Structures are given as C-alpha cells and as structure tokens.
C-alpha cells in the first residue's frame, strides 16, 4: 500500500489533500472488494453494489468514475479501467472540509466539487450543459421518488430548466438562442447551496464520503 505511513498527498490534485494512513487503508480495502482483488476496477464491477442498483442516476455515477476529466488526465472520453491512484483521485472530490482551510482554499475546494457535478450533467463532454441535458438529469433524479407521478416529475424538471435559464441569461429576446450552461453559469446556479457537506457516496459505506444530491 503506497504512502501508508503518515499522510498521502495526491500530487495530481490542484488543491491540498491530506489523507491519513487509516483512511487510505479503508479505501484500499474497498477498492480491493470492488475490483475482486484485481489491480484495476472496470465499469462492470459496479454491478455488484446493491445501493447503486435502484439509484435513478446510477449510470451517471458510474460514468463519473471513469470520466477522464475527473481523473485529471486533461483529455476527453472515458477510461476503460481505473487503478487505486485513480480511485483516490475520484474520492478526493467527496472529502469533507478541513478546519484549517483559508477562504481561498475553501473556494478552490468548492469549485472542484462543482466541477465534478458539472461533468455529470455535461453528458456529451462539450464543456456546456444544454438546458435539455439539465432537464434530463433533474427528471432522472425525480424518477426515483415513488410518490411522484411521472407527469409531475416532468413538470418540475421543466420548471428547473426554465429557472436555470433565467439565472444564467436572464430575460431572453425572441431571437436569442441559449447555447448552454457554462461552468461559470453553473457556479451561479449553486451559489448559496452548501455543496461542501452535501456531496457524499453512500454506496461506498464510508464515514467521509458518498451520495450526490
């Protein structure tokens, strides 16, 4: 197990990350469980996770683990498999706030989390979320609510899409075409929402990480 003594700094990350040896060992055990003691995890390894089976955005969550943008490989597309270092990189997006962070670090920390969510919405990897992509994710999330009828979910998703447009571009003229939500727009939409404590990964059964709201 690499860097099991003291702390484990993940050098590819652009913000400070400190993981204790105990946390690394916990993550490594979970990695080995998911990979069935292999050196890498593939998408099909996620099929054995019960908590993911009925998650309405299961496909997007699994996709995010293999998205090269989230792996900080500075390239588009999906990886076929991820190793333990890649796994730690993904887990870093879900780490809790550290008490000694200053304002600049907190801002970077928040933007990193939102960038991960942005990539989940941006399904075609073009750097923008179309209003239809945004609407689709909202509708998928709502589809997991057994008490909400399909038409009601669609209406709420439509309303969310229109609200997103109003936040990003305000009142549009009749000839205006909105090309999509940029990351700067996405930051506006999440302004005032405590994303720092709302990003979790429940299916990994860890104290410090799981389930995306």
CATH architecture of 101-195: Orthogonal Bundle (1.10)
Burial 179-197 (b: 16+ CB within 10 A, else e): ebbeeebbeebbeeeebee
pTM for the model stands at: 0.75
Which sign, positive or negative, has the C-alpha torsion 134, 140, 144, 150?
positive
Sequence spans of domains, the chain: 21-93, 101-195
Q: Are strands 41-42 and 81-82 parallel, antiparallel or unpaired?
A: antiparallel
**Domain 21-93 class in CATH:** mainly alpha
The answer to whether 21-93 and 101-195 have equal CATH topology is: yes
pLDDT in tens, the chain (213 residues): 233 233 333 333 333 345 678 888 888 998 999 999 999 999 999 887 877 877 888 888 899 999 999 998 777 889 999 999 999 999 888 887 777 888 898 888 889 999 999 999 898 898 998 878 888 888 888 887 888 888 888 888 888 877 887 887 766 565 655 678 889 988 988 888 777 666 766 555 543 333 333
Query: Closest Cα partner for 58 from 203, 206, 160, 209?
Result: 203
């Amino acid at each position: 197990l690499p860097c099991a003594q003291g702390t484990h700094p993940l050098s590819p990350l652009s913000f400070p990350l400190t993981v204790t040896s105990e946390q690394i060992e916990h993550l490594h055990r979970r990695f080995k469980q998911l990979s069935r003691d292999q050196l890498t995890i593939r998408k099909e390894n996620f099929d054995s996770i019960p908590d993911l089976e009925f998650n309405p955005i299961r496909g997007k969550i699994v996709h995010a683990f293999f998205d090269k943008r989230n792996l900080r490989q500075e390239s588009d597309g999906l990886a076929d498999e991820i190793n333990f270092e890649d796994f730690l990189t993904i887990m870093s997006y879900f780490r809790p706030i550290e008490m000694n962070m200053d304002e600049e670090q907190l801002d970077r920390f928040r933007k990193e989390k939102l960038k991960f969510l942005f990539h989940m919405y941006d399904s075609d990897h073009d750097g923008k979320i179309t209003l239809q992509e945004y609407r689709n994710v909202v509708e998928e999330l709502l589809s997991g609510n057994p008490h909400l009828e399909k038409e009601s979910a669609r209406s709420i998703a439509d309303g969310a899409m229109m609200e997103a447009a109003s936040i990003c571009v305000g009142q549009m003229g009749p000839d205006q075409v909105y090309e999509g939500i940029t990351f700067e727009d996405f930051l506006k939409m999440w302004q005032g929402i405590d994303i720092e404590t709302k990003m979790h990964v429940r299916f990994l059964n860890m104290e410090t990480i799981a389930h995306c709201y």
